Amino acid sequence: MTTNMQKNLSITPEILDAIHAGKPIVALESTILSHGMPYPQNVEFAHKVEEIVRGEGAIPATTAIIGGKLKIGLNAEELEIMCKAENVGKVSRRDVATYLATGMTGATTVATTMMIASMAGIRFFATGGIGGVHRGAEKTMDISADLQELANTPVCVVCAGAKSLLDLGLTLEYLETMGVPVLGLRTDELPAFYCRTSGFKLDYNCESEETVAKIMKTKWELGLKGGAVVGNPIPEEYALDYDEMEKVITKAIDMANEQGIHGKALTPFLLSHIKDMTDGVSFASNLQLAYNNAVAASRIAVAYSKL
Protein backbone atom coordinates (compact mmCIF):
# COMPACT_ATOMS: atom_id res chain seq x y z
CA MET A 1 0.00 0.00 0.00
CA THR A 2 1.42 3.40 -0.90
CA THR A 3 1.47 6.34 1.54
CA ASN A 4 -0.99 8.16 -0.69
CA MET A 5 -3.36 5.23 -0.40
CA GLN A 6 -2.93 5.14 3.39
CA LYS A 7 -3.81 8.82 3.59
CA ASN A 8 -7.26 8.08 2.19
CA LEU A 9 -7.84 4.68 3.76
CA SER A 10 -9.12 3.99 7.25
CA ILE A 11 -8.96 0.35 8.34
CA THR A 12 -10.13 -0.87 11.76
CA PRO A 13 -7.36 -2.24 14.03
CA GLU A 14 -8.96 -5.69 14.00
CA ILE A 15 -8.89 -5.89 10.20
CA LEU A 16 -5.39 -4.42 10.03
CA ASP A 17 -4.16 -7.13 12.42
CA ALA A 18 -5.94 -9.79 10.37
CA ILE A 19 -4.31 -8.51 7.16
CA HIS A 20 -0.85 -8.64 8.73
CA ALA A 21 -1.47 -12.09 10.21
CA GLY A 22 -2.82 -13.45 6.89
CA LYS A 23 -6.14 -14.37 8.50
CA PRO A 24 -9.20 -14.96 6.31
CA ILE A 25 -11.14 -11.74 5.66
CA VAL A 26 -14.39 -11.26 3.76
CA ALA A 27 -15.25 -7.87 2.26
CA LEU A 28 -18.90 -6.76 2.27
CA GLU A 29 -20.40 -3.91 0.26
CA SER A 30 -22.57 -1.01 1.41
CA THR A 31 -24.66 -0.28 -1.71
CA ILE A 32 -26.74 -3.33 -0.84
CA LEU A 33 -27.47 -1.52 2.48
CA SER A 34 -27.98 2.06 1.31
CA HIS A 35 -29.66 1.46 -2.03
CA GLY A 36 -30.76 -2.16 -2.01
CA MET A 37 -32.69 -2.65 1.25
CA PRO A 38 -35.17 -0.69 3.36
CA TYR A 39 -34.32 0.88 6.73
CA PRO A 40 -34.31 -0.38 9.47
CA GLN A 41 -34.34 -4.00 8.27
CA ASN A 42 -30.99 -3.33 6.62
CA VAL A 43 -29.43 -2.60 10.04
CA GLU A 44 -30.28 -6.06 11.29
CA PHE A 45 -28.99 -7.52 8.03
CA ALA A 46 -25.70 -5.58 8.22
CA HIS A 47 -24.98 -6.93 11.69
CA LYS A 48 -26.16 -10.46 11.01
CA VAL A 49 -24.10 -10.88 7.84
CA GLU A 50 -21.00 -9.85 9.81
CA GLU A 51 -21.86 -12.34 12.58
CA ILE A 52 -22.20 -15.09 9.97
CA VAL A 53 -18.72 -14.35 8.62
CA ARG A 54 -17.31 -14.48 12.15
CA GLY A 55 -19.15 -17.73 12.84
CA GLU A 56 -17.25 -19.28 9.92
CA GLY A 57 -13.90 -18.16 11.30
CA ALA A 58 -13.29 -15.14 9.06
CA ILE A 59 -13.21 -11.39 9.74
CA PRO A 60 -15.91 -9.23 8.12
CA ALA A 61 -14.83 -6.03 6.37
CA THR A 62 -17.75 -3.85 5.31
CA THR A 63 -16.60 -1.00 3.09
CA ALA A 64 -17.95 2.51 2.51
CA ILE A 65 -16.84 6.07 1.89
CA ILE A 66 -17.68 8.22 4.90
CA GLY A 67 -16.80 11.90 5.09
CA GLY A 68 -14.31 11.55 2.25
CA LYS A 69 -12.47 8.54 3.71
CA LEU A 70 -12.32 5.04 2.30
CA LYS A 71 -13.41 2.82 5.18
CA ILE A 72 -12.66 -0.86 5.64
CA GLY A 73 -14.63 -2.09 8.64
CA LEU A 74 -17.54 -0.06 9.97
CA ASN A 75 -18.59 0.35 13.60
CA ALA A 76 -22.27 0.28 14.62
CA GLU A 77 -22.63 4.03 14.21
CA GLU A 78 -21.13 3.95 10.71
CA LEU A 79 -23.34 1.01 9.70
CA GLU A 80 -26.31 3.07 10.89
CA ILE A 81 -25.22 5.98 8.66
CA MET A 82 -25.03 3.70 5.63
CA CYS A 83 -28.38 2.05 6.42
CA LYS A 84 -30.23 5.35 7.02
CA ALA A 85 -28.79 6.47 3.69
CA GLU A 86 -29.50 10.18 4.11
CA ASN A 87 -27.24 12.02 1.66
CA VAL A 88 -25.46 8.77 0.91
CA GLY A 89 -24.61 8.45 -2.77
CA LYS A 90 -23.87 5.36 -4.83
CA VAL A 91 -20.18 5.23 -5.58
CA SER A 92 -18.74 3.32 -8.47
CA ARG A 93 -15.11 3.53 -9.63
CA ARG A 94 -15.58 6.77 -11.57
CA ASP A 95 -17.03 8.53 -8.48
CA VAL A 96 -14.36 7.61 -5.93
CA ALA A 97 -11.91 10.47 -6.38
CA THR A 98 -14.68 13.08 -6.30
CA TYR A 99 -16.13 11.66 -3.07
CA LEU A 100 -12.72 11.64 -1.40
CA ALA A 101 -11.66 15.08 -2.57
CA THR A 102 -14.91 16.75 -1.56
CA GLY A 103 -15.56 14.86 1.70
CA MET A 104 -18.79 13.17 0.63
CA THR A 105 -20.36 9.97 1.97
CA GLY A 106 -21.24 7.14 -0.38
CA ALA A 107 -22.08 3.48 -0.52
CA THR A 108 -19.67 1.24 -2.38
CA THR A 109 -20.88 -0.94 -5.25
CA VAL A 110 -19.33 -4.29 -6.14
CA ALA A 111 -16.77 -2.47 -8.31
CA THR A 112 -15.74 -0.02 -5.59
CA THR A 113 -15.75 -2.62 -2.84
CA MET A 114 -13.40 -4.78 -4.93
CA MET A 115 -11.17 -1.78 -5.53
CA ILE A 116 -10.95 -0.84 -1.84
CA ALA A 117 -10.58 -4.46 -0.70
CA SER A 118 -7.69 -5.04 -3.07
CA MET A 119 -5.90 -1.91 -1.82
CA ALA A 120 -5.72 -3.71 1.54
CA GLY A 121 -4.93 -7.13 0.06
CA ILE A 122 -8.39 -8.55 0.82
CA ARG A 123 -9.19 -11.25 -1.75
CA PHE A 124 -12.72 -12.46 -1.02
CA PHE A 125 -16.01 -10.63 -1.06
CA ALA A 126 -19.61 -11.69 -0.47
CA THR A 127 -22.60 -9.86 -1.90
CA GLY A 128 -26.12 -10.52 -3.22
CA GLY A 129 -25.81 -10.08 -6.95
CA ILE A 130 -23.33 -8.39 -9.26
CA GLY A 131 -24.13 -5.70 -11.79
CA GLY A 132 -23.87 -6.69 -15.43
CA VAL A 133 -25.01 -6.03 -18.96
CA HIS A 134 -28.52 -4.56 -18.84
CA ARG A 135 -31.25 -5.78 -21.14
CA GLY A 136 -31.22 -3.50 -24.16
CA ALA A 137 -27.54 -2.62 -23.64
CA GLU A 138 -26.96 -2.93 -27.40
CA LYS A 139 -28.82 0.42 -27.56
CA THR A 140 -28.22 2.01 -24.13
CA MET A 141 -24.65 0.75 -23.56
CA ASP A 142 -25.59 0.28 -19.91
CA ILE A 143 -22.98 -2.16 -18.71
CA SER A 144 -22.09 -2.13 -15.02
CA ALA A 145 -18.57 -1.06 -14.08
CA ASP A 146 -18.57 -4.20 -11.91
CA LEU A 147 -17.61 -6.25 -14.97
CA GLN A 148 -14.51 -4.18 -15.79
CA GLU A 149 -13.50 -4.33 -12.15
CA LEU A 150 -13.76 -8.12 -12.22
CA ALA A 151 -11.48 -8.08 -15.24
CA ASN A 152 -8.82 -5.98 -13.55
CA THR A 153 -8.94 -6.27 -9.76
CA PRO A 154 -7.88 -9.42 -7.89
CA VAL A 155 -10.95 -10.10 -5.76
CA CYS A 156 -13.15 -13.18 -5.88
CA VAL A 157 -16.83 -12.19 -5.65
CA VAL A 158 -19.27 -14.72 -4.22
CA CYS A 159 -22.82 -13.93 -5.32
CA ALA A 160 -26.13 -15.53 -6.23
CA GLY A 161 -25.36 -14.74 -9.87
CA ALA A 162 -27.31 -11.70 -10.98
CA LYS A 163 -30.91 -10.63 -11.20
CA SER A 164 -32.53 -11.35 -14.52
CA LEU A 165 -33.25 -7.64 -14.84
CA LEU A 166 -29.87 -7.96 -16.54
CA ASP A 167 -29.24 -9.80 -19.76
CA LEU A 168 -27.55 -12.79 -18.15
CA GLY A 169 -26.40 -14.26 -21.47
CA LEU A 170 -24.66 -11.05 -22.52
CA THR A 171 -23.21 -10.66 -19.02
CA LEU A 172 -21.57 -14.08 -19.38
CA GLU A 173 -20.29 -13.19 -22.86
CA TYR A 174 -18.76 -9.98 -21.56
CA LEU A 175 -17.07 -11.81 -18.68
CA GLU A 176 -15.68 -14.38 -21.10
CA THR A 177 -14.24 -11.67 -23.34
CA MET A 178 -12.65 -10.01 -20.32
CA GLY A 179 -11.11 -13.27 -19.11
CA VAL A 180 -13.09 -13.51 -15.89
CA PRO A 181 -13.66 -17.04 -14.55
CA VAL A 182 -17.28 -17.74 -13.62
CA LEU A 183 -17.42 -20.70 -11.25
CA GLY A 184 -20.55 -22.49 -10.12
CA LEU A 185 -20.49 -23.57 -6.50
CA ARG A 186 -22.26 -26.93 -6.57
CA THR A 187 -24.23 -25.86 -9.63
CA ASP A 188 -24.06 -26.25 -13.43
CA GLU A 189 -25.88 -23.00 -14.13
CA LEU A 190 -25.47 -19.33 -13.43
CA PRO A 191 -27.93 -18.71 -10.61
CA ALA A 192 -30.48 -15.94 -11.24
CA PHE A 193 -30.47 -14.37 -7.78
CA TYR A 194 -33.94 -15.36 -6.42
CA CYS A 195 -33.85 -18.51 -8.54
CA ARG A 196 -31.36 -21.35 -8.41
CA THR A 197 -31.18 -21.66 -12.18
CA SER A 198 -31.20 -19.30 -15.15
CA GLY A 199 -30.91 -21.65 -18.11
CA PHE A 200 -27.36 -20.38 -18.71
CA LYS A 201 -24.85 -23.19 -18.31
CA LEU A 202 -21.50 -22.63 -16.66
CA ASP A 203 -18.33 -24.44 -17.68
CA TYR A 204 -17.20 -25.19 -14.14
CA ASN A 205 -19.11 -26.73 -11.29
CA CYS A 206 -16.90 -26.65 -8.18
CA GLU A 207 -17.81 -29.37 -5.73
CA SER A 208 -16.35 -27.54 -2.75
CA GLU A 209 -15.23 -24.18 -1.41
CA GLU A 210 -11.72 -25.59 -1.32
CA THR A 211 -11.78 -26.13 -5.09
CA VAL A 212 -12.66 -22.46 -5.56
CA ALA A 213 -9.82 -21.47 -3.22
CA LYS A 214 -7.36 -23.60 -5.24
CA ILE A 215 -8.48 -22.09 -8.53
CA MET A 216 -8.05 -18.56 -7.16
CA LYS A 217 -4.65 -19.39 -5.73
CA THR A 218 -3.52 -20.79 -9.07
CA LYS A 219 -4.88 -17.84 -11.03
CA TRP A 220 -3.12 -15.27 -8.85
CA GLU A 221 0.13 -17.26 -8.59
CA LEU A 222 0.25 -17.19 -12.37
CA GLY A 223 0.03 -13.42 -12.21
CA LEU A 224 -3.27 -13.37 -14.11
CA LYS A 225 -4.96 -10.09 -13.34
CA GLY A 226 -8.52 -9.70 -12.21
CA GLY A 227 -10.95 -11.59 -10.03
CA ALA A 228 -13.64 -14.19 -10.46
CA VAL A 229 -17.35 -14.65 -10.02
CA VAL A 230 -18.58 -17.52 -7.86
CA GLY A 231 -22.24 -18.31 -8.47
CA ASN A 232 -23.79 -19.71 -5.31
CA PRO A 233 -27.47 -20.64 -5.66
CA ILE A 234 -30.03 -19.47 -3.10
CA PRO A 235 -31.02 -22.28 -0.69
CA GLU A 236 -33.93 -24.29 -2.10
CA GLU A 237 -36.38 -23.31 0.65
CA TYR A 238 -36.07 -19.60 -0.13
CA ALA A 239 -35.99 -19.80 -3.94
CA LEU A 240 -38.78 -18.02 -5.85
CA ASP A 241 -40.60 -19.12 -8.98
CA TYR A 242 -38.68 -18.08 -12.13
CA ASP A 243 -41.72 -17.25 -14.28
CA GLU A 244 -43.36 -15.20 -11.52
CA MET A 245 -40.18 -13.18 -10.99
CA GLU A 246 -39.75 -12.74 -14.74
CA LYS A 247 -43.18 -11.07 -14.94
CA VAL A 248 -42.37 -8.72 -12.07
CA ILE A 249 -38.95 -7.83 -13.47
CA THR A 250 -40.31 -7.17 -16.96
CA LYS A 251 -42.94 -4.86 -15.46
CA ALA A 252 -40.31 -2.97 -13.47
CA ILE A 253 -38.19 -2.52 -16.62
CA ASP A 254 -41.23 -1.21 -18.51
CA MET A 255 -41.87 1.32 -15.73
CA ALA A 256 -38.24 2.46 -15.81
CA ASN A 257 -38.43 2.93 -19.59
CA GLU A 258 -41.70 4.87 -19.34
CA GLN A 259 -40.23 7.16 -16.67
CA GLY A 260 -36.93 7.57 -18.50
CA ILE A 261 -34.88 6.14 -15.62
CA HIS A 262 -31.32 5.39 -16.70
CA GLY A 263 -27.68 5.50 -15.61
CA LYS A 264 -26.77 4.81 -12.00
CA ALA A 265 -30.38 5.30 -10.87
CA LEU A 266 -31.63 2.34 -12.91
CA THR A 267 -30.49 -0.56 -10.71
CA PRO A 268 -31.84 0.99 -7.44
CA PHE A 269 -35.14 1.89 -9.21
CA LEU A 270 -35.62 -1.68 -10.44
CA LEU A 271 -34.68 -3.21 -7.09
CA SER A 272 -37.11 -1.08 -5.14
CA HIS A 273 -40.00 -1.68 -7.55
CA ILE A 274 -39.37 -5.41 -7.62
CA LYS A 275 -39.50 -5.39 -3.85
CA ASP A 276 -42.75 -3.38 -3.76
CA MET A 277 -44.42 -5.56 -6.37
CA THR A 278 -43.63 -8.79 -4.54
CA ASP A 279 -44.94 -7.68 -1.14
CA GLY A 280 -41.58 -8.11 0.49
CA VAL A 281 -41.44 -11.85 -0.32
CA SER A 282 -38.49 -11.14 -2.56
CA PHE A 283 -36.83 -9.20 0.25
CA ALA A 284 -36.90 -12.24 2.54
CA SER A 285 -35.20 -14.24 -0.23
CA ASN A 286 -32.70 -11.46 -0.78
CA LEU A 287 -31.62 -11.63 2.87
CA GLN A 288 -31.24 -15.40 2.79
CA LEU A 289 -29.20 -15.55 -0.40
CA ALA A 290 -26.86 -12.87 0.94
CA TYR A 291 -26.38 -14.81 4.19
CA ASN A 292 -25.72 -17.94 2.15
CA ASN A 293 -23.06 -16.08 0.13
CA ALA A 294 -21.42 -14.83 3.32
CA VAL A 295 -21.07 -18.44 4.50
CA ALA A 296 -19.58 -19.58 1.19
CA ALA A 297 -17.19 -16.63 0.86
CA SER A 298 -15.98 -17.18 4.42
CA ARG A 299 -15.38 -20.88 3.80
CA ILE A 300 -13.48 -20.09 0.60
CA ALA A 301 -11.37 -17.48 2.42
CA VAL A 302 -10.64 -19.94 5.23
CA ALA A 303 -9.69 -22.68 2.75
CA TYR A 304 -7.48 -20.22 0.85
CA SER A 305 -5.64 -19.22 4.01
CA LYS A 306 -4.73 -22.89 4.57
CA LEU A 307 -3.31 -23.55 1.08
Binding site for Mn ion (CB under 5 A): 142
**HSE of 13, CA atoms in CB hemisphere, 13 A:** 0
Nearer to Mn ion, 180 or 213 (CB): 180
Q: How far is the CB of 7 from ligand PSU (least distance, A)?
A: 26
> SS3 for 21-78, per residue?
HCCCEEEECCHHHHCCCCCCHHHHHHHHHHHHHHHCCCEEEEEEEECCEEEECCCHHH
For the chain, report the end-to-end CA distance as a whole number of angstroms.
24
Active site residue 90: no
Nearer to ligand PSU, 109 or 292 (CB): 109
Active site residue 23: no
Q: How far is the CB of 267 from Mn ion (least distance, A)?
A: 6
Nearer to Mn ion, 148 or 197 (CB): 148
Q: How far is the CB of 266 from Mn ion (least distance, A)?
A: 6
Residues in contact with ligand PSU by CB under 6 A are 29, 31-32, 36, 92, 109-111, 128-129, 131, 144-146, 163, 193, 264, 267, 271
> SS3 for 101-170, per residue?
HHCCCEEECHHHHHHHHHHCCCCEEECCCCCCEECCHHHHCCECHHHHHHHHCCCEEEECECCCCECHHH
Q: How far is the CB of 166 from ligand PSU (least distance, A)?
A: 8
H-run or E-run covering 288:
helix 281-306
Q: Which of 163, 219, 264, 275 is catalytic?
A: 163
Q: How far apart are CA 281 and CA 42, in angstroms?
A: 15
- Total residues belonging to the chain: 307
Nearer to ligand PSU, 14 or 246 (CB): 246
Q: How far apart are CA 53 and CA 33, in angstroms?
A: 17
Catalytic residues: 29, 163
